[in-house]
């Protein structure tokens, strides 16, 4: 395995990876040892295949539309006035 794939495999393995870099896959779905071993190999193969996939393209930065910004500010102002109305009234 290449270094990048190996690191991604360990990251994807999560708790199944030991500090030494060994991936431990427990298989106990089937009654026979042969079927459990085949299941564990298949799951390990799937994990390595997922780690070998190319990384997703970088996200394009977008701005909220002008209307969305205005709506957000309008609702914030509305909440602000509601909270101000809850405050105690000063008797001056």
If you write DSSP's letter for every residue of the chain in order, what string do you get? --HHHHHHHHHHHGGGB-TTS-B-----SSSSHHHHHHHHHHHHHHHHHHHHSPPPPPPPP----HHHHHHHHHHHHHHHHHHHHHSPPP--
- Report the predicted TM-score, pTM, of the whole model to 2 decimal places: 0.60
Q: What are the residue ranges in the chain where pLDDT is below 70?
A: 92
pLDDT of residue 33: 95
**Domain residue limits, the chain:** 3-52
pLDDT of residue 55: 86
pLDDT of residue 65: 96
pLDDT of residue 92: 66
């Amino acid at each position: 395995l290449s270094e990048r794939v190996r690191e991604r495999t360990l990251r994807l393995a999560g708790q199944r990876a030991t500090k030494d870099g060994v991936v431990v896959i427990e298989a106990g779905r089937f009654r026979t040892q042969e079927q459990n071993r085949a299941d564990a190999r298949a799951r390990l193969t799937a994990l390595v295949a997922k780690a070998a996939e190319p990384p997703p393209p970088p996200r394009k930065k977008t701005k909220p539309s002008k209307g969305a910004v205005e709506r957000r500010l309008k609702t914030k102002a509305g909440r602000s006035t509601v909270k101000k109305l809850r405050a105690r009234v000063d008797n001056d």
